Amino acid sequence: MTDETNNTGPTIVKPKGLFAALEIDTRLMGMIGAFIVIALVFQIWTGINAQGLTGDIAWNPFSWLIDGRFLTPRNIFNLTIQTVSVAIMATGMVFVIVTRHIDLSVGSLLATCSAMMAVVQTVVAPNWLGLGLENPMIAPLAIVVGLITGAAIGAFHGYLIGYLTIPAFIVTLGGLFVWRNVAWHLTGGQTIGPLDANFQLFGGINGTLGVTWSWIFGLLAVAVAVYGLFSARRQRLSHEFSVKPVWAEATIAAVISVVILGFVAVLNSYEVPTRRLARLFEDRGEIMPEGFTTGYGLPISVLLLIVVVVGMTVLATRTRLGRYIYATGGNPEAAQLAGIRTRLLTVKIFLIVGLLCAISAVVASARQTFHSNDIGTLDELRVIAAAVIGGTALAGGVGTIYGAVLGALIMQSLQSGMAMVGVDAPYQNIVVGVVLVLAVWIDIVYRKRTGS
């Protein structure tokens, strides 16, 4: 694009083309394109499985696309709640990898936090504190205990890495073994449940906003997104920086609005089964009106993920801590010479990861409605893969929060899609491994060509 600067105002940008005017992140568009391709492939594949390849409708891609099951409201709803736990931890893994570390203990740390919260709900609260089974304080108490556990373990890892200079690989590999077995010891190797009813609301299927509140949230999200875009534009204008044309800003705002409201519409169209609705009315002592239907709406777990993503993005881009994290990842020696306390920074990063593991433990155990010994198994590999597929450079210094979430969504889409079409678990893991290596190779090629 070319710029013309007048003497009385900001730089006026004259783009050479549509993509230049919109200033689209090619890496982001590549990930979105990959997700769309995956979704279409499994939509057609499930359509083929439903219809077969014989008869009058054989070899009709449009018919397969319509009859596929991957892009149904039910599957999209399930896909979102299945992605949340890994996506939350992946946002923290971005900070770890950006600063040239690694964390292999997140799955085991999730298990320990989950075990602590399960014990609080089933043993400590009723037996030690005398709280009844439906006491509203049980869930908050358990969550606070889980958050403290995650933060303490994460900070301890950070101390060993930052101040004792033990490599992060070794510390967290040890944590992988230690905390998995601490979780087993806390529960005596038993499955603990059912968990508190209020706690289960964070799992997704048992806790949603409903149709009306989902639309309200969607409209508020659109308003905030549009305000953020044009607020950033005004700020750039006030400092006489170059800005995109108004039509380009309006196009981006329109696309964001359509995506948000379309997502809400899809979730609202997934109807609650009639029997479940009838039980809900019975629990309230009411009779369900004949023909009454309603949708699930936005899961509370997805709402929690959105809050985490926004908070982590603000932390990464608008705070001193975020600037220090990326500066340290780009050049640790220069950051230390510049006065950044890199050892304390390491403690803070792993503390944040510990907190996020505890939040993920809430979501994962609430979705299952109980704590199991295998909860979080192999999550460390899924989390690292999500961050790397999302564009976080293993060399450090580069990575985005939204990229990690998209990486988690792509991974979960692959696994869910392959499960739907009957691909065996070993082959699913082979595909995920190939995709991970391919993503790193594409990232290396991209950086060489762009010089980033």
Query: pLDDT digit string (tens) for 251-288?
Result: 888 999 999 999 999 999 988 888 878 787 777 777 77
Query: What residue has token string 């083309």?
Result: 17
- Tell me how far CA of residue 431 lies from CA of 45, 70, 348, 409, in angstroms: 16, 18, 35, 15
Residue 436: band (very low, low, confident or very high) from pLDDT cuts 50, 70, 90: confident
* pLDDT (0 to 100) of residue 291: 75
CA distance 159 to 318: 26
* pLDDT (0 to 100) of residue 139: 93
* pLDDT (0 to 100) of residue 21: 57
Residue 2: band (very low, low, confident or very high) from pLDDT cuts 50, 70, 90: very low
DSSP summary character for residue 339: T
User: Quick check: 95 pLDDT over 70?
Assistant: yes
Residue 6: band (very low, low, confident or very high) from pLDDT cuts 50, 70, 90: very low
What percentage of residues in the chain have a pLDDT greater than 70? 91
445 compared with 70, residue with greater pLDDT: 70
Cα–Cα nearest to 168, from 404, 429, 342, 336: 342
**Contact between 95 and 383 (Cβ < 8 Å):** no
* pLDDT (0 to 100) of residue 44: 87
Q: Is 243 helix (H, G, I), strand (E, B) or coil?
A: strand
Total Cβ atoms within 10 A of residue 301 = 30
Name the strand (E) or helix (H) holding 2.
strand 2-5
Phi-psi bin for 208: left (phi > 0), alpha (psi -120 to 50), beta? beta
Instruction: Give one DSSP letter per residue of 69-86, joined into a string.
Output: STTSHHHHHHHHHHHHHH
CA distance 103 to 154: 10
User: Quick check: 5 pLDDT over 50?
Assistant: no
**Contact between 147 and 352 (Cβ < 8 Å):** no
15 compared with 45, residue with greater pLDDT: 45
* pLDDT (0 to 100) of residue 12: 47
Query: pLDDT digit string (tens) for 131-172?
Result: 877 889 999 999 999 999 999 999 999 999 999 999 999 999
* pLDDT (0 to 100) of residue 235: 84
User: Quick check: 57 pLDDT over 70?
Assistant: no
Query: pLDDT digit string (tens) for 339-396?
Result: 999 999 999 999 999 999 999 999 999 999 999 999 998 899 899 999 998 888 888 8
> Six-digit token pair at 411?
């991974």
* pLDDT (0 to 100) of residue 179: 96
Total Cβ atoms within 10 A of residue 171 = 23
> Six-digit token pair at 4?
């013309």
Of 55-69, 90-104, 198-212, 357-371, the one with minimum mean pLDDT is 55-69
Cα–Cα nearest to 100, from 422, 253, 327: 327
User: Quick check: 55 pLDDT over 70?
Assistant: no
> Six-digit token pair at 263?
């997502």
* pLDDT (0 to 100) of residue 61: 66
CA distance 202 to 191: 19
User: Quick check: 52 pLDDT over 80?
Assistant: no
Taking the CA atoms of residue 111, residue 406, residue 65 and residue 293 in that order, the dihedral angle to the nearest 10 degrees is 60
User: Quick check: 417 pLDDT over 70?
Assistant: yes
Q: Is the overall model pTM greater than 0.95, yes or no? A: no
CA distance 226 to 354: 33
Query: pLDDT digit string (tens) for 191-248?
Result: 998 899 999 999 887 889 989 999 999 999 999 999 888 888 888 888 777 777 777 7
User: Quick check: 129 pLDDT over 80?
Assistant: yes
Question: Distance from first CA to last CA of the chain, Å, rounded?
Answer: 19
CA distance 84 to 407: 12
Phi-psi bin for 290: left (phi > 0), alpha (psi -120 to 50), beta? beta
